[in-house]
Amino acid sequence: MRARFEVNGREVEVAVEPRLTLADCLRHHLRLTGTHIGCEHGVCGACTVLVDGKAVRSCLMLAVQAEGSKVVTVEGLSNDEGLTPLQASFRKHGALQCGFCTPGMITTAHALLTEEPDCDADRVREVLSGNLCRCTGYVSIVEAVLDARAAYKGDAQ
């Protein structure tokens, strides 16, 4: 089957089996390997991407279901020159170690802060409870997300 959709601002067209997940399509057909696969059954959140502005588990979506949608991955939330304010906040707080859960954390945090730049620590923890991390124990991640709120308030992003 063919599916046409937008990824990180670029139109793409892929020829895929219906059973191919969006996660696998991004990683193998489009070579956007920043989105990681940690469980393939919708629990760990490492595969989180934005679809039409909403954070979703790309391992639970078929690539063909992305037809006509705008998909944004961690690569689309990054630039070549340096780090975005959210990424810089993660780095400052030591909010990553092995880096495997990090793309999912970044996309989820970005979606949250975009919708709710005034979120508090409880809300951050609630939202991030759908993203598993094994290295950090989450404390530094929550600190990093809270510290990044300033960049999302007003005209930022």
Partner 1 sequence: MKNTYIGAPMERREDMRFLRGRGEYVDDLEVEGLLYAVILRSSVAHGHIASLDSSAALKCAGVHAVITAKDMPGGVPIIPMRLQPLPEFKPYEQPVLAHDKVRYVGEPVAVVLAESVAVAEDALEAIALDIEPLPAISDYVTAAQNGSLLFESTGTNGSLVFHARKGDADAAFRDAPYTRRERLATGRHYGLTMEPRGVLAQWNPETGRLTISGAAKVPFFNRRILAKQIGLPETAIDMIENDVGGGYGARGEFYPEDFLIPFAARYINRPVKWTEDRRENLMAMNHAREAVADIEIACARDGTILALRGDIHNDMGAYMRTNGAVGARNVCQFLAGPYRVPHVELDSHLWMTNKTPVGTYRGPGRFESNFFLERLIDMVAADLGIDRVEFRRRNLVSQAEQPYPIAHVQPTDAKDQYDSGDYRIAFEQCLEEIGWYDKAKLCGRLTDGRYHGLGVSCFIEGGAAGPKETARLEINDDGTFSVYLGTTSVGQGVETIFAQIAADALEVPIERIRHVHHGSTHYVSEGFGAYHSRSTVMGGSALLDATKNLHAAIRAAGAKRFGCDASAIAIDGDKMSSSDGRTFALRELAGLSAEGTFHNHHHTYSYGTHAAYVAVDPKIGRIEIIDYVVVQDVGRVINPLTLRGQVIGAVVQGLGGACLEHLQYDDEGQFLTGSLADYLLPTASDFPNVRCVITEDYPSPNNPLGAKGAGEGGIIAAGGALANAVAHALAPFGAEPRTLPLTPSKVWELVGRKEV
Partner 2 sequence: MKMPPFDYACPATLAEAIALLSTHDGDAKVLAGGQSLVPILAFRLAAPKLLVDLRRLTELRTIKINPDGVALGAMVRWCDIESDKRLRTAHPLLVAAVAHVAHYQIRNRGTVGGSIAHADPAAEMPGIAMTCEAEIVATGKAGPRTIKAADFFQGALTTALMADEIIVEIRLPAWPAGRRWGFQEFARRRGDFALAAAALFYDTAAGGKATNAHVGVIGVADRPLRLPSVEAVLNGATIDAATIAKAEAATTAAVDPDSDIHASGAYRKALVGTMVERALKMAAEQTP
Binding interface with partner 2 (CB under 8 A):
1, 17-19, 21, 24, 40-42, 45, 48, 54-57, 59-62, 64-65, 67, 108, 111-112, 126-127, 129-130
Judged by beta carbon distances under 5 to 8 A according to partner kind, the member of partner 2, partner 1, none in contact with residue 91 is partner 1
CB of 118 to partner 1, least distance (A): 19
Which of partner 1, partner 2, none does 73 bind, CB closer than 5 to 8 A by kind?
partner 1
Tell me which of partner 2, partner 1, none is bound by residue 151, counting a contact when its beta carbon lies within the kind-specific cut-off of 5 to 8 angstroms. Answer: none
Q: How far is the CB of 138 from partner 1 (least distance, A)?
A: 4
Q: What residue spans of the chain are helical by DSSP H? A: 22-24, 85-93, 102-115, 121-128, 139-147, 149-152
Q: For partner 2, which is the closer residue by CB, 82 or 146? A: 146
Sign of torsion, CA 85 89 90 91?
positive
Rg (C-alpha) for the chain, rounded Å, is: 15
Asked if 53 touches partner 1 (CB under 8 A), the answer is: no
Give the helix, strand, coil percentages of the chain, each rounded to 5: 40, 15, 45
| Structure tokens given for 59 | 């391992």
Minimum CB separation of residue 63 from partner 2 in Å reads 10
Closest CB 67 distance from partner 1, rounded Å: 20
The terminus-to-terminus CA distance of the chain in angstroms comes to 36
The dihedrals phi and psi of 86, each to the nearest 5 degrees, come to: -65, -45
Residues 58-117 that bind partner 1 (CB under 8 A): 73-75, 78, 83, 87, 90-92, 94, 96-103, 106
Instruction: State the Cα–Cα distance between residues 112 and 53, nearest whole angstrom.
Output: 10
